[in-house]
Chains A and B, each alone.
Chain A
Amino acid sequence: MRKYIRLFQLFFKTSYLLFLAHRFDFIMGSVANILWTASQVITLQFLSTKIVAFQNWGFYDLILLLALSQIYYYGAFILYENSLSKLFDKIKTGDFDRVLSKPVNVKFISSFDSISVAQIFSVFGSCVPMTIVGLLGSTHTSLSNYILAVFILTSGFISMYFLSLGLSGLVFVFEDIQSFKDFMVSSSTEFSRLPLDIFPPSIRATMTYVIPLAFTTYFPVLMLKGTLPNYIIPLCLVMPVVFYLFQKLTWTIGLKHYSGVG
């Protein structure tokens, strides 16, 4: 375990050193992020006051939902999505041979060798202030609700990581899985920015059981609002296990299928 913590620190350090070589990307990324956040807040203000379906949701609840959605999105991108999105290129160019030859868990290197340091500043620039504003503005809740909300969020984050890892494992078999994966773990975050109860039951079920994004945004906010259905807490223990097994299966099959580059 110590080895992996040390490796993670080193991956972070090298990613940071590489990031310093491209400072302009950081400035442009941060400006774009602030503009995007401002546009989202204005839209939410409009939705919360003008649309009837949003009447159970106050402006600050919506802000909190958006903040959590952004925390998941940037958190995933910073930690593992950036590395996993390069997996197909590594396989295609033969660089994956190098990964396989190292005495380190192959999924660990594939997930964390290229941390997106630049995005960390986006988290501090938009997600953290929005979370604080959302928490201060929403209805007061108990400490146990806060703890359970963090637990649900953690479970959702772990489940989403295993889903992303599992879908990445399919790249050994299906060359074009990347765009499908992008939809599953990135584009679908569009649904998580708004309360799921405004969508039809099929979408709610999909975002709970197939793409467990509801655990990263919707359910934690429901927990804070005190309206979370009882069956969700046990599900938080089951979902990471299900998606863990999924990624184990795809990587075991994928690595056997790996043929390298001549």
Chain B
Amino acid sequence: METIIQTSHLSKSFQQYKKPAGIKESFKSLFHRKYFSVDAVKDINLEIKDGEFVGFIGPNGAGKTTTLKMLAGLLYPSGGDIQVMGKTPFKREHSFLKDYALVMGQKSQLMWDLPPIETLELNKEIYEISDKKYQENLNVLSDLLKIKDVLEIPVRKLSLGQRMKCELATALIHQPKLLFLDEPTIGLDVVAQKNIRNFLKKYNEINHTTIILTSHYMDDVSQLCNRIVIISHGSLIYDGSLKNLTEKYLAQKFLKFIFKEKVLKKDLSQFGKIEKYSEDGLSVTLIVDRKNHLDIAAKALKSLPIDDLDIAEISLEEIIRHIFTSQ
């Protein structure tokens, strides 16, 4: 498979300034500002192959969107090398811009007062698509997304789910080789989220389009991505398959206890690693080995004032949270 994205020691820093509260400080800052540098992305090395579906995960401010924007050529990197589809993104050559699409869940390119078909026709001209190709692509996308009936209704009259489907159709009308998706399911209900996921999965399978997805919804990542990249504080902390990441945690389970009366932390550590302990000492979540979790639960039932007990698998969301908190 061809390498479509390659970055080496990619970094980006922003200049910011601090301004304490109050009129006096505001006046002072007119003449003297204390600037400092924020490293949004630090030394990221990535190699993404053609047709891969990669999930970028990280807490708010981790540097996911900044990385995505550098890959899309919207931001100049502060350091390192970057090659996307054999081009240097920030040079913003039209041949490069024509080969990718960017979908931002929180920013729409659809014209609010006009039907989606108007934006689609505008994109036809922007991407210089022939009439025949445009009609073919539009038919395929409207069938896959089931949006034929809504293309001529003003955008403001559409539901959020319908809008996102039209947004995807508009972004994909020129059949890009690479698709950047920034929180595409944000704000959607579970049914709409599922529809979007199904479409993306099918689209990736049919067209072998390389897709880079950032999302806070772990369901998006677990159901769509065969590879995940975890970014925290601007640095890459995990790059590999979802399977490898979860395997380590599959050997463990959660034991959640609710107590009738307060139990001290020191009395719980003998049963497993404390994941969560309530301030009032009335509940705890322990991480224990899968192979002897029943023995541990039985032992705890005998020695602790347990009111309720729950044994749970560790979800991807919790794995990710665990990774972030242990950073």
Contact = CB atoms under 8 A, between A and B. Distances in A.
Interface in A213-261: 256, 258-260
A259 B70 CA distance: 10
A95 interface: yes
Given A7-B125, A94-B107, A98-B107, A103 B98 contact: yes
A104 B109 CA distance: 15
Contacts of A104: 94, 126
A21 B126 CA distance: 25
A26 to B, nearest CB: 15
Nearest to B122: A10
4 A-B pairs closest in CB distance: A103-B97, A103-B94, A103-B98, A101-B102
Nearest to A11: B122
Interface string A1-15: 001001100100010
Given A3-B125, A260-B69, A262-B65, A101 B111 contact: no
A17 interface: yes
Contacts of B98: 103
Given A97-B102, A260-B69, A262-B65, A14 B118 contact: yes
B114 A18 contact: yes
A34 interface: no
A102 interface: yes
Nearest to A101: B102
Interface of B: 14, 61, 65-66, 69, 72-76, 92, 94-95, 97-98, 100-102, 104, 106-107, 109, 111, 113-114, 118, 121-122, 125-128
A2 to B, nearest CB: 10
A262 B74 contact: no
Contacts of A97: 69, 74, 102, 104, 107
A205 interface: no
Contact of B74 (A3, A18, A260): A260
Nearest to A113: B122
Is the interface on chain A under 10, 10 to 19, 20 to 34, or 35 or more residues? 20 to 34
Contact of A21 (B73, B102, B113, B127): B113
A103 B126 contact: yes
Contacts of A101: 72-74, 97, 100-102
A148 interface: no
25 contacts: A3-B125, A6-B125, A7-B122, A7-B126, A14-B118, A17-B118, A18-B113, A21-B113, A94-B104, A94-B106, A98-B104, A101-B72, A101-B73, A101-B97, A101-B102, A102-B126, A103-B97, A103-B98, A104-B94, A104-B126, A259-B14, A260-B66, A260-B69, A260-B74, A262-B61
Contacts of A95: 107
A256 B72 CA distance: 14
Contacts of B94: 103-104
Q: Which of A18, A93, A97 has the most CB of B within 10 A?
A: A97
B125 A259 contact: no
Given A101-B97, A260-B74, 14 more contacts: A7-B122, A14-B122, A97-B74, A98-B102, A98-B109, A100-B74, A101-B101, A102-B97, A103-B95, A103-B97, A103-B127, A256-B76, A259-B75, A262-B66
A10 B74 contact: no
A155 to B, nearest CB: 30
B74 A14 contact: no
Interface in A81-105: 93-95, 97-98, 100-104
A3 B98 CA distance: 14
B126 A17 contact: no
A93 B121 CA distance: 25
A230 to B, nearest CB: 44
B75 A260 contact: yes
Q: Which of B74, B100, B102 has the most CB of A within 10 A?
A: B74
Interface string A121-132: 000000000000
B139 to A, nearest CB: 22
Given A3-B128, A14-B122, A18-B111, A100 B65 contact: no
A106 B97 CA distance: 12
Q: Which of B65, B69, B97 has the most CB of A within 10 A?
A: B69
A128 B125 CA distance: 33
Contacts of A259: 14, 75
A95 B109 CA distance: 8
A59 to B, nearest CB: 45
B181 to A, nearest CB: 13
Contacts of B72: 101
A256 B77 CA distance: 10
Contacts of A100: 73-74, 92
A262 B14 CA distance: 11
